[in-house]
């Protein structure tokens, strides 16, 4: 535990017991006036006011090759003693302020900097699997009552928690999909439990019934999950979950994933777009938007009534 904590602190994470926060590179760019992340472009969140955090910073039931964290040091079992949602959020907001404080002097737009200290978007992702935190539903409820927007990203390997999540107009549920079938799932996502693939499939069925906003994020890795055969597998999974949006995204060779995969495994934007358009051609999803810098294409379910951008 100490070893991974030190690794994360070296990468400018601030930790609070089982939770952690970090400033996203896009938040920094937004503050410097150098652009905004694709989630601001696609969904209208405020990138400079985003708090990216995890209540489960070193706990996960996968060891994905593309994970930018030192997941070789991750722990499967969540500790018995857990913090309350309010405690986590209040502590991490303070820690985030400390991380941002060094930035203040260099940001020309003082109004924007002042706003950034009070997050209004919460991205529950960053590191680890957030649904392993037993009070994740209460945490989402706590945040959706206070924030403008809340995104929760899950790997789908903890399906029992998903039916408890509530539809809220400012809440978006993400499911990561990185493997088109079981064998590739074992190879790319390296589950620590034998029934990981079955659990993911159960999650797809649950997400299908979820009434709120739902997004699947496909991470494409060159020569690992981007063939026409892989496309067929992904189409089946998308059909099963029937989300409102599908984000088709390039693997990014960052952090600890560099050692596992490396730069040559990153598809370029044109390759990502080509794959996304093939999905669109063979499914009920239409091309909706793109971000070249983030090597991502957004597809939207033709039957979805969701308005892309939050008001
Ligand atoms: S929404 Fe995601 S990409 Fe955008 S600033 Fe927050 S963590 Fe970064
Ligand atoms: S599910 Fe997320 S946190 Fe867990 S290993 Fe995969 S990428 Fe990393």
DSSP 47: G
Residue at token pair 């981007």: 226
Per-residue pLDDT at 163 = 97
**Four-CA torsion 79, 80, 85, 87, nearest 10 degrees:** -80
From the options 2.40.10.10, 3.30.230.30, 3.40.50.720, 3.20.20.70, give the CATH code of 2-301.
Answer: 3.20.20.70
Cβ of 50 closer than 6 Å to ligand 1, yes or no, is: yes
The ligand 2 site (C-beta within 6 Å) comprises: 60, 62-64, 67, 69, 71, 127-129, 155
Residue 293, pLDDT score: 93
- What order do you get walking across the sheet with 171-177 strand by strand? 14-16, 19-22, 50-54, 121-124, 149-154, 171-177, 213-220, 245-250, 296-301, 285-291
Q: Is the CB–ligand 1 distance for residue 24 below 6 Å?
A: yes
* pLDDT tens per residue across all 311 residues of the chain: 788 989 899 889 999 999 999 999 999 999 999 999 999 999 999 999 999 999 999 999 999 999 999 999 999 989 999 999 999 999 999 999 999 988 777 788 889 999 999 999 999 999 999 999 999 999 999 999 999 999 999 999 999 999 999 999 999 999 999 999 999 999 999 999 999 999 999 999 999 999 999 999 999 999 999 999 999 999 999 999 999 999 999 999 999 999 999 999 999 999 999 999 999 999 999 999 999 999 999 999 999 999 999 98
Buried-exposed string 33-43: b where 16+ CB fall within 10 A, e elsewhere:
eeebbbbbbbb
Rg (CA), the chain: 18
What secondary structure letter does DSSP report for 59?
Answer: B
CA of 238 to the centre of ligand 1 (A): 24
Q: How many angstroms is it from 146 CA to the middle of ligand 1?
A: 18
Residue 87: what pLDDT?
98
Strands (E), the chain: 14-16, 19-22, 50-54, 121-124, 149-154, 171-177, 213-220, 245-250, 285-291, 296-301
Of all protein residues, the one whose alpha carbon is nearest to atom 6 of ligand 1 is: 50
pLDDT, residue 1, reads 78
pLDDT value of position 104:
75
Q: Which ligand is nearest to the CA of 251?
A: 2
Taking the CB of residue 101, how many other CB atoms lie within 10 A of it? 10
In short, whether 150's Cβ falls inside 6 Å of ligand 1 is no
- Domain spans of the chain, in order of start: 2-301
pTM for this prediction: 0.96
SS3 197: helix
- Taking the CA of 249 as reference, the closest ligand is 1
């Amino acid at each position: 535990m100490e070893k991974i904590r030190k690794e994360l602190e070296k990468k400018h994470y601030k930790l609070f017991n089982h939770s952690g926060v970090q400033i996203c590179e896009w938040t920094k760019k937004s503050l410097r006036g150098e652009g905004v992340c694709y989630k601001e472009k696609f969904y209208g969140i405020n990138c400079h006011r985003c708090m990216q955090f995890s209540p489960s910073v070193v706990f996960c039931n996968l060891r994905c090759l593309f994970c930018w964290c030192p997941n070789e040091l991750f722990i499967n079992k969540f500790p018995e003693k857990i913090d309350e949602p309010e405690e986590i959020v209040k502590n991490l907001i303070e820690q985030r302020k400390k991380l941002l404080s060094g930035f203040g002097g260099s940001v020309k737009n003082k109004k924007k900097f002042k706003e950034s200290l009070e997050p209004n978007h919460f991205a529950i992702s960053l590191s680890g699997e957030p649904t392993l935190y037993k009070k994740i539903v209460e945490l989402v409820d706590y945040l959706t009552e206070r924030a403008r927007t809340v995104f929760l990203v899950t790997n789908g390997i903890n399906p029992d928690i998903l039916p408890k999540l509530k539809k809220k107009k400012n809440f978006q549920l993400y499911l990561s999909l990185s493997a088109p079938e079981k064998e590739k799932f074992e190879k790319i996502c390296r589950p620590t439990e034998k029934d990981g693939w079955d659990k993911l499939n159960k999650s797809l069925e649950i997400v299908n019934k979820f009434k709120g906003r739902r997004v699947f994020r496909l991470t494409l890795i060159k020569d690992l999950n981007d063939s026409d055969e892989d496309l067929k597998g992904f189409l089946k999974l998308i059909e099963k979950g029937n989300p409102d949006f599908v984000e088709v995204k390039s693997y990014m060779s960052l952090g600890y994933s560099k050692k596992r995969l490396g730069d040559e495994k990153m598809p370029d934007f044109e390759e990502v777009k080509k794959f996304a358009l093939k999905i669109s051609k063979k499914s009920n999803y239409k091309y909706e938007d793109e971000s070249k810098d983030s090597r991502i294409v957004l597809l939207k379910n033709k039957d979805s009534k969701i308005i892309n951008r939050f008001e």
